[in-house]
Chains A and B, each alone.
Chain A
Amino acid sequence: MGKERENAGLTRRHALECMAWAGTGVLWTVSGGIPKSLSLLDAAEAAEVSQGGMTFLQISDSHVGFDKEKEVTAVDTLTEAIGKVKTLPVKPAFMIHTGDITHLSKDGEFDDAARIIGSTGLDVGYVPGEHDLIDPGQGKAYLARYGKGTLGAGWHSFDHGGVHFIGLVNVVDLKAGGLGNLGAEQLAWLKNDLEGRSASTPIVVFAHIPLWAVYPKWGWGTDDAAQALALLKRFGSVTVLNGHIHQIVQKVEGNMTFHTARSTAFPQPRPGTAEKPGPMIVPADQLRSMLGLTSVDFTVGKERLAITDTSLARDV
C-alpha cells in the first residue's frame, strides 16, 4: 500500500466500489470561501464537509458518441457516472460540465447527453470543448442548446452561494501549432466582468482546455491564459477547473488552485508516457481500473484534496 492509503477511512470494499466505476466526477464544496474537492464515493467525508457549505459537481469529457472502447460506450460510462451522482448523500447545488459533451457534435449525441445528464434534475453550467464545435455550423449546434444567457462562443458568469463562477471558452479559433485560445473579445469581457468585484469574492473559473501549461507538446495549455490569470491575480481565492486531458492534474500557485477532471468516457496517457495523446483503448475488464491509474498529490491548506480512487485502483 502506498502512503496515500494512510487515510484510515478507506477500506478494500471501498476500493472495489471505485474499481466498479468508470466514469468519475469531482464533487466540490465551498466552505469558508475555499473550494475543496472530494471523492464522489466518499460519502462520509462529503456529508461532513458539506455541513454549512455549498457543494457543486464537475463532470467533464463525456464524449457521447465515442465507441472505441471495448464493450462499453461513452453513453454507458456517462450513465454510470450520472447514476453515482444520483446516489450522493448530499445533493449538489448544481453541476458544471467542462466540455466535450459530445464526440462529434451530432444532434443525437447532444440529445443523449442532455437526457442522461438531465436525469439528475440539477442545473448545469456548460462550456464547450473542441469536440462540441465540429458540426457543419462550427458551434451552432452547441449554442442552440447551451448558448442562452452566454456571449460570444458561449462564455458566461453567474453567482452562487457567494462564489462568482466564470465559464470561459478556449476552444475557438485555434491556430496551427497553437494551444487553447481565449481571444481579445473574451478577455475584454472578463476584465469587465471582474471590474469592481471585491477581492474577497471567491472565484471559480471553468474552461475546457487547461489554463496552464500542462503539456504544450500535446496542446495541453492555453496561449493567452496569462492575460486572464493576470486579471484574476488580485482575488484571494481562485479555483480553475478544466477538463480535456482526461486525468487529474493539480497545481497550486499563490491563491490559485488549478485542477483538471477525469473524463467519464476514456483515459488518456500521462504527459510524455506515450508518443501521442490518443484514447487509451484497454480491455473492458481493465478499463475502470485503468481510469483509476491517474494520481496527484493534493496539498491545499490542511485538507487533502481527496480524489481517492486513483491510488486505490493502483493498489488492487
Chain B
Amino acid sequence: MRATHPITALTTLGAALLLLFPLMTPASSKEMHVSISNFTFEPRTTTIASGETVRFVNSDDMVHTIVAADGSFRSDALDTGDSFAKTFLKPGTYAYFCGLHPFMKGTIVVK
C-alpha cells in the first residue's frame, strides 16, 4: 500500500477543479428567457449584450419552433416544456418567428 502524498492529492484536486471550471457559468454571462405561451413570444423584444444567451422556453400545449427570419438559426421542434438556447455574439437586430405558426414573431436586439 502506498500512502497518498499531500502534493499529489493537491494536484489531483486542482486538475478536478480545472475539469469542472468550463462547466460552470462564467460570472459575466447572462441568460435571458423568452417564454412561449398562448402562441405568443414574451417579451416580444428582448435586449441583451453581445455574448449573452437567450433561452426560449415553450410552456404552450402546442409544439413550436424558433426560426431566424434570415435563416441564420433554427431550433428543433419544441414540445411543451422544451427549450432552446442561443448565444448571440454579434451586435444587431435578429428577427425570429415560429416555423409552424409564422404569425408568431419576436425580436432579439444585441447591443
Contacts and interface: CB of A to CB of B under 8 A. Distances in A.
Q: Is chain B a partner of chain A in the same complex?
A: yes
Interface of A: 68, 103-105, 130-131, 134-136, 174-179, 217-219, 275-279, 281
A311 B99 CA distance: 35
Interface in B45-89: 60-63, 65, 67, 69, 76-77, 79-80
Interface residues of B, number: 23
Contact of A177 (B39, B79, B102): B102
B103 A103 contact: no
B62 A177 contact: no
A179 B101 CA distance: 9
A104 B76 CA distance: 10
Contacts of A130: 99-100
A104 B103 contact: no
Contacts of A281: 61
Contacts of B79: 104
Nearest to B106: A176
B100 A131 contact: yes
Given A131-B100, A177-B97, 16 more contacts: A68-B61, A131-B63, A134-B65, A135-B77, A175-B97, A176-B67, A176-B69, A176-B95, A177-B105, A179-B102, A218-B101, A219-B101, A219-B103, A276-B39, A276-B40, A278-B38
A205 to B, nearest CB: 22
10 contacts: A103-B63, A104-B77, A104-B79, A134-B65, A176-B95, A176-B97, A218-B101, A219-B102, A276-B40, A277-B101
B96 A176 contact: yes
B103 A278 contact: no
Contact of A277 (B39, B77, B99): B39
A175 B63 CA distance: 18
Contacts of A136: 76
B38 A178 contact: no
B38 A276 contact: yes
Contacts of B65: 134
A192 B99 CA distance: 30
A178 B104 CA distance: 10
Interface of B: 38-40, 60-63, 65, 67, 69, 76-77, 79-80, 95-97, 99-103, 105
A176 B39 contact: no
B83 to A, nearest CB: 16
A48 to B, nearest CB: 41
B77 A105 contact: yes
A104 B101 contact: no
A284 B81 CA distance: 23
A68 B62 CA distance: 9
A101 B109 CA distance: 37
B38 A275 contact: yes
A217 B39 CA distance: 12
A104 B65 CA distance: 11
A247 B45 CA distance: 33
A104 B97 contact: no
A77 to B, nearest CB: 16
A187 to B, nearest CB: 19
A130 B102 CA distance: 11
Contacts of A105: 77
Contacts of B69: 175-176
Contacts of B38: 275-276, 278
Contacts of B97: 175-177
Nearest to A277: B39
